């Protein structure tokens, strides 16, 4: 089955173009735009980890190593499309126009973190695994019913494909020909469980066969192929041809979250090797150098701009008062049930507040 779903590439690990079909699409402007976004979200990710270690935000889900999957796919979207992220896809959300300040507020426990900029259709991050997939299929179907050409993209990890919500969402999207792209980032582990132990299928892309939709397997560290294949899937969706399942094979260097110790279940030497071989930013840098697009002065400017933007977002985030944990009881139902109200009262008494 794995032969039926080969990994598609445009750039190999050394930055060479290995698929001439798309060579005419590649140019300096595109490469520099991709590089700027990759560097920007990596800068954010590293800063967020530092903030968590200093106790300035809560538990954080890093994504370093997966930048090409998030940037390439998000840049393929149109302004009025929908984006449904998991708790790890803030890189995609940033690329699609989300506020860096609000993303940091999310990781600091404030409700404002779930609010996208005015006019942006970015769903709150899906914390329960795979629950955002039926939501995305429904939103996409609603766009179809309204007669628009808007599409949706929904992100999820390899573990999510073992959840019922994945199968329900993809089945609904298939039956209704909903204009949605199901974008899987396969980093080989469902938290601490390797892919081989949580499913029998050799690939995730082949799961598309059960729902009679296209399944595509791509190199998730090649930002060019991610962009091209997502763009093709979105065009199918807009043309009324229904959903596509994309499996982006990638690798995350760090932990599942900052509360996790990946050395307990994964060989960390592999991550160090990959930093020097398959890294998405390094790969694009190699390509740009070969093409004469890489300029040290320009790169320094991009780094400074990214750092300044992130630092400003941190400053704005820290101007907000600390989150009130009691708020979690206020937004479960439109009108609190007696059970929720009782829990809130018990919590307030626990912290010494008279309810």
CB atoms under 10 Å from CB of 243, counted, come to 29
The position carrying tokens 């590293």 is 46
Name 315's Cβ contacts closer than 8 Å, sequence gap at least 6: none
Q: Respond yes or no: is residue 60 known to be catalytic.
A: no
Q: Respond yes or no: is residue 135 known to be catalytic.
A: no
Rounded to whole angstroms, the Cα distance separating 211 from 136 reads 17
The residue annotated as part of the active site, out of 88, 98, 110, 252, is 252
Taking the CA of residue 82 as centre, how many other CA atoms within 13 Å lie in the half-sphere pointing to its CB? 31
Q: Respond yes or no: is residue 256 known to be catalytic.
A: yes
The position carrying tokens 């940037």 is 71
The residue annotated as part of the active site, out of 16, 53, 265, 349, is 265
Residue 346: phi and psi, rounded to 5, are: -65, -40
The residue annotated as part of the active site, out of 256, 283, 287, 294, is 256
| Cα angle, residue 289 at apex, residues 284 and 295 outer, rounded to 5° | 100
Rounded to whole angstroms, the Cα distance separating 153 from 244 reads 10
Residues assigned a catalytic role: 252, 256, 265
């Amino acid at each position: 089955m794995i032969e039926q779903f080969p990994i598609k590439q445009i750039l190999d690990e050394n930055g060479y173009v290995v698929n001439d079909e798309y060579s005419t699409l590649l140019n300096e402007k595109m490469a520099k735009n991709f590089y700027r976004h990759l560097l920007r979200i990596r800068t954010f990710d590293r800063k967020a980890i530092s903030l968590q270690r200093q106790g300035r935000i809560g538990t954080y889900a890093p994504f370093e190593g997966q930048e090409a999957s998030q940037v390439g796919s998000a840049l393929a979207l149109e302004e009025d499309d929908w984006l449904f992220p998991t708790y790890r896809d803030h890189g995609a959300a940033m690329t699609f126009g989300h506020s860096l300040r609000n993303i940091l507020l999310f990781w600091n426990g404030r409700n404002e973190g779930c609010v996208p900029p005015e006019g942006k259709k970015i769903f709150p991050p899906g914390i329960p695994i795979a629950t955002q997939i039926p939501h995305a299929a429904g939103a996409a179907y609603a766009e179809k019913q309204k007669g628009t050409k808007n599409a949706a993209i929904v992100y999820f990890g390899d573990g999510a494909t073992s959840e019922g919500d994945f199968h329900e969402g993809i089945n609904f999207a298939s039956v209704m020909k909903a204009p949605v792209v199901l974008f899987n980032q396969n980093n080989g582990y469902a938290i601490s469980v390797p892919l081989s132990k949580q499913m029998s299928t050799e690939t995730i892309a082949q799961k598309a066969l059960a729902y009679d939709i296209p399944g595509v397997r791509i190199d998730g560290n090649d930002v060019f192929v991610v962009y091209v294949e997502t763009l093709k899937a979105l065009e199918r969706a807009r043309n009324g041809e229904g959903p596509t399942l994309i499996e982006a094979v990638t690798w995350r260097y760090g932990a599942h979250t900052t509360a996790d110790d990946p050395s307990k279940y994964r060989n960390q030497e592999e991550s160090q090797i990959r930093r020097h071989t398959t890294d998405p930013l390094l790969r694009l840098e190699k390509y740009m150098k070969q093409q004469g697009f890489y300029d040290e002065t320009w790169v320094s400017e991009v780094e400074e701009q990214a750092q300044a933007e992130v630092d400003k977002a941190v400053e704005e985030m820290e101007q907000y008062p600390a989150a009130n944990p009691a708020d979690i009881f206020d937004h479960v139902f439109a009108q609190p049930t007696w059970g929720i109200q009782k829990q809130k009262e018990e919590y307030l008494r626990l912290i010494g507040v008279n309810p």
